Structure 1
Amino acid sequence: MALWKPDPTFYPSPRDAAAGPPEKLAYVAAFDRAAAEPDAIAVLDVDPDSASYGDVVGWSELPGLGDELHHFGWNACSSALCPGSPHPHVERRYLIVPGLRSSDIHVLDTKDDPLKPQLVKTITAAELAGRAGYSRPHTVHCGPEGLYVTALGGADGAEGPGGIALLDHTSFEVLGRWEVDRGPQFFAYDAWWHIAHDVLVSSEWGTPSMIEDGVVGELLLGREYGHSLHFWDLRKRKHVQTVDLGDQHQMVLELRPAHDPTKQYGFAGVVVNVEDLSASVWLWHRDGDAWAATKVIIIPAEPADAADLPPVIAPFGAVPPLVTDIDLSVDDQWLYVSCWGTGELKRYDVSDPFHPVEAGSVRIGGIVDRAPHPAEPGLPLAGGPQMVEVSRDGRRVYVTNSLYGAWDDQFYPDGVGAWMAKLDSTPEGFTFDERFFPHGDAFRGRRPHQTRLQGGDASSDSYCYP
């Protein structure tokens, strides 16, 4: 009789995950803004001992046009070991890849040939709408009971409410809408949890029409984008509390809860404060029997000549940082903050989460600076650090430069380009790896967005044991 064992890339605790073997491959979503060529998953060699290190070594195109691949994830991860809803015999095998514009969700199998993921199923927009009532799938998290897919829009052209669709781990069928009682929640974006405490947290961007063609100045200055965090009972699937960060804090996006399952805090990135164009990071935490949020990081805008700025921000005479992604190392010590507008990636020591200490910064790209990569100092770069992914052991940090097609075109109207970089991170600092700089034609005319690492990464897994 065969002895069943859990997938070796599932780890009971953050400590075990950090001690696991380093990744050898990275999977990157690459999309064609013109929708003339299919979007693809690019496979990159991230093994520094390999002759093809830093190269695109695999390429899997999707069948349609205009998906705009966005925040994809694994079908299963370390949460499968949780005692409340164990699924120890699923495998981290499939990439679940949503199309933000098409509303289709693609399932790609990496097991037989990790260099060429094979499309095995497409969940159509009609199935997502018919069974869950949602459109515009945005983010995928592997969790208890199945796959949680956040979606920005409603079905049949409805603007909302957005929310969470639940997919089966194995068949990938849409089981239905996750929420039983959503309370006042309407906008959606990201969702994650304190899995051992039966708490889910969600954030807010806007409805499809509010994001379709980029930032709408009237909506932004009218403070009409999302500005709240929502807290839920994960088991009862019921809304518990809204924490409003203040309507000047527009677009509450990425959520990064502590990996230590005994802790009940996490970080949320806010794109812009309309009063001064600063960006911020907030800490959510328990306050007695309720939830609270405290602003713990403020990143100011940088003055600039209006002539050097794209029309969308020229009247302000400044470059907003535009914090559009954050990532927390698995040991909960380092928080990485992407400032896509200024072209800066910051690192903070968050050992004391209420008092982050800046512990390093690098510049690459940027609306005004166009800072080059040290591997090619004569090549000015557009875009900036956007999606950021950290290896399980915290030593390697990967960034890509494209945010979202419509935003790319607004903030970098002369072209955002295509590049990816890797940084080495140690307690003493973090620096660019000059051997790793796929760019330009490496992505075959597509724009690279999110990265997933083989065997898991800092934003893919939840752990149930301290």
Structure 2
Amino acid sequence: MVEPIELYWKCGLANPHTSHCLGSGQIMISCMGDPSGNAKGGFVLLDGETFEVISNWEHQGEAAPFGYDFWYQPRHNVMISTEWGAPKALVNGFNPAHVQEGLYGSALNIWDWTTHKKLQRLDLGEEGAIPLEVRFLHEPSAAEGYVGCALNSTVFRFYKTAEGDWAAEKVISIPNKKVEGWMLPEMPGLITDILISLDDRYLYFSNWLHGDIRQYDITDRRNPQLVGQVFLGGSIVRDGPIRVLEDPENQEQPRPCIIKGKRIAGSPQMLQLSLDGRRLYTTTSLYSGWDKQFYPDMIREGSVMMQINVDTVDGGLALNEDFLVDFGKEPDGPVLAHELRYPGGDCTSDIWL
């Protein structure tokens, strides 16, 4: 176990998030803040055998303004990291005023993988506010990928330009729904997790507020096509307190999601895909402070894991109604399960050289 005090003393960091194994045998973990809860996007190196904290990966004074996820691509000598927000702002839930106060990020940070120097801060603007999960294509020679941006429910494609720097373009946008009975007059989808199938054909993401998972064919990298969608709970179920007044996509409010007699409290959040691409798994907890704000029933009942069957030929998603892992029934529960990992590697942790 890595104690918080080790991160403080040796690296001046706190709030660890994403981990990746390196070719050197070390483990690298991104962090979101400093010990006082201020935003700070730095990286910790651990010994791969003893798990001892070694040092920062970035040079002193070169941490990014915000931290969250990261992905590296050795063939292009690059690492890209994303930005959530200051831990002291997000710990107790989401306050829209904090966005205007500059406590949430909106950029991709581009790093030289060999020298560990920060090369570029690629600002995605208002439409790209709160960029969370970042995914390169799995093909190791590819110099492009996608990032899901939570606040305005957009997906940006990032790519290496002919000049050798990096650029981004918006390729997917999920419209807000006009609602009543909620904290704001419009509800975003709130894209919280994305992943790419191992064959680089499909992109998946979860809309944690609306309650759906979407599947896009990304054969044409600049023009993703929606080919699958399934609602599994969320904030706009038709028998809930929130009423949708206007939906640009003209979708009916979904029915509650009930699996094996249990009504799902919460919404699809973290995703993981089987290596053959046929089974998509999702858990429902985002972050305890946000869970408590948006899905208080999940705090009392615990989160769940669900499984979706995937049509890998023509596209399409269908809930497996015989599969449910209920973390509310844990011996010391209820608990809030979050990340999913396959033993031996999976779609969101493997990086090929």
Q: Distance in 1 between matches of 2:336 and 2:105?
A: 26
Offset of residue 160 of structure 1: 4.3
* Equivalent of residue 423 in structure 1, options 293, 304, 308: 308
Query: Structure 1 regions of 5+ residues with no counterpart?
Result: 1-121, 274-278
Offset of residue 197 of structure 1: 1.8
Give CA deviations for 1:288-336 in whole Å, capped at 9, x if unaligned. Answer: 22100110000111222x22x2xxxx232x3220101001111111111
Q: Distance in 1 between matches of 2:64 and 2:107?
A: 9
The structure showing larger relative contact order (alpha-carbon pairs under 8 Å, at least 6 residues apart) is 1
SS in 1 for 2:293: helix
- 2:166 equivalent to 1:291: yes
Corresponding residue for residue 276 of structure 1: none
- 2:133 equivalent to 1:254: yes
* Equivalent of residue 151 in structure 1, options 14, 31, 40: 31
Give the letter for the 1:386 counterpart. Q
Query: Structure 2 regions of 5+ residues with no counterpart?
Result: 241-254
Distance 1:338 1:374, change over 3 A: same
* Equivalent of residue 321 in structure 2, options 426, 431, 434: 434
Corresponding residue for residue 164 of structure 1: 43
Corresponding residue for residue 463 of structure 1: 352
Q: Is the 8 A contact 1:195 1:462 kept in 2?
A: no
- 2:90 equivalent to 1:211: yes
Offset of residue 372 of structure 1: 3.7
Give CA deviations for 1:250-277 in whole Å, capped at 9, x if unaligned. Answer: 211101111100101111110113xxxx
SS in 1 for 2:151: strand
Corresponding residue for residue 401 of structure 1: 284
Please give the residue correspondences for 1:436-451 in structure 2 after superposition, counting only pairs within 5 Å: 436-439=323-326, 441-443=328-330, 444-451=333-340
Corresponding residue for residue 335 of structure 1: 203
Q: Distance in 1 between matches of 2:336 and 2:6?
A: 28
SS in 2 for 1:393: coil
Please give the residue correspondences for 1:58-137 in structure 2 after superposition, counting only pairs within 5 Å: 122-137=1-16
Offset of residue 185 of structure 1: 2.2
SS in 2 for 1:148: strand
SS in 2 for 1:447: coil
Give the letter for the 1:170 counterpart. E
Q: Distance in 1 between matches of 2:309 and 2:61?
A: 42
Corresponding residue for residue 348 of structure 1: 216
Q: Distance in 2 between matches of 1:270 and 1:320?
A: 11
Give CA deviations for 1:85-116 in whole Å, capped at 9, x if unaligned. Answer: xxxxxxxxxxxxxxxxxxxxxxxxxxxxxxxx
Q: Distance in 1 between matches of 2:38 and 2:93?
A: 16
Pairwise CA RMSD of aligned residues?
1.9
Corresponding residue for residue 248 of structure 2: none
Offset of residue 214 of structure 1: 1.5
- 2:145 equivalent to 1:266: yes
- 2:265 equivalent to 1:382: yes
Offset of residue 183 of structure 1: 4.5
Offset of residue 381 of structure 1: 2.5
Aligned length: 329
SS in 2 for 1:355: coil
Distance 1:184 1:461, change over 3 A: closer
Offset of residue 162 of structure 1: 2.7
Q: Distance in 2 between matches of 1:344 and 1:160?
A: 30
Percent of paired sites with the same residue? 35
Offset of residue 181 of structure 1: 6.2
SS in 2 for 1:166: strand
Offset of residue 342 of structure 1: 0.6
* Equivalent of residue 139 in structure 1, options 15, 18, 28: 18
Corresponding residue for residue 315 of structure 1: 184
- 2:336 equivalent to 1:453: no
Q: Distance in 1 between matches of 2:9 and 2:98?
A: 30
Offset of residue 398 of structure 1: 0.4
Q: Distance in 1 between matches of 2:339 and 2:192?
A: 12
Q: Distance in 2 between matches of 1:440 and 1:141?
A: 26
Please give the residue correspondences for 1:217-232 in structure 2 after superposition, counting only pairs within 5 Å: 217-222=96-101, 224-232=103-111
Distance 1:167 1:282, change over 3 A: same
Distance 1:399 1:379, change over 3 A: same
Give the letter for the 2:219 counterpart. S
Distance 1:411 1:374, change over 3 A: closer
Offset of residue 211 of structure 1: 1.6
Q: Distance in 2 between matches of 1:322 and 1:129?
A: 31
